[in-house]
Amino acid sequence: MSAFSLSDRRALVSGANTGIGQAIAVALAAQGARVTCAGRRACDETVAMIAARGGMGETLTLDFADPMAARDVFAGQGYSILINNAGIIRRADSLEFTEADWDAVMDVNLKALFFTTQAFAKAALDEGNTPAAVVNIASLLSFQGGIRVPSYTASKHGVAGLTKILANEWAAKGINVNAIAPGYIATNNTAALRADPARNDAIIERIPAGRWGAPEDIGGTAAFLCSPAARYIHGAVLNVDGGWLAR
């Protein structure tokens, strides 16, 4: 069997409706995983894409505005891969930022991520579904400060920290915990930036690769981090950014 195969593995990908989450779900299925595509809305398009490529996928409605939404999802279900991709953002000057916007972002991006991962790991260890893998979707703002997104920046710094502490605690138990920090990726969320000629040109000029990333660039990286080929990678926050942070 290939060192990159995910055959006979069961995965859950949160935020799998579109963009990066959708690409990750498709990539995992292409390597043989059975993928549960979780989102606030049904992930029918993603499941159809997986089926069209001969893979196995299913949809599951979960709203991570409730940080405990996934607490009963994993027990007895045979999951050995978790991708924490669901996330939200709120924008305002730090002087004007509200408690409601702070709490909404932290609940989805950090609290839900932790308790979802906790539930996954408990089930994997109780059922012997190891080796297992967790991949968290961090951000360039896990390393940088950004502007007008204080709760998002704090949450993504927190994702990097949680990735490391969980790797410290679980590596010897057979659970790999890592994160991907995407750069500027061409998704619905960045459509406005790409449509602004000045902003688009400034971003591309900063990226050594000379282009926006594609969601598939993140999908392939996630599939690798879940595979046996990555079995000695623990606690890494891997920037997939076309060289942005190296500039």
Exactly one of 79, 152, 184, 232 is catalytic; which is it?
152
Query: For the chain, first and last CA: distance in Å?
Result: 38
Cβ neighbours of residue 19 closer than 8 Å, sequence gap 6 or more: 185, 187, 188, 189, 215
Question: Rounded to the nearest 5 degrees, what angle is found at the Cα of 214, between the Cα atoms of 23 and 131?
Answer: 45
Closest CA to 135 of 17, 43, 16, 18: 16
79 is catalytic: no
- The residue ranges of DSSP E strands in the chain, in sequence order, are 10-14, 34-39, 56-61, 81-84, 132-137, 175-182, 237-240
Per DSSP, helices labelled H in 31-149 are 44-52, 99-106, 112-127
d(CA 53, CA 10): 17
Distance CA 183, CA 218 (A): 9
Active site residues: 152
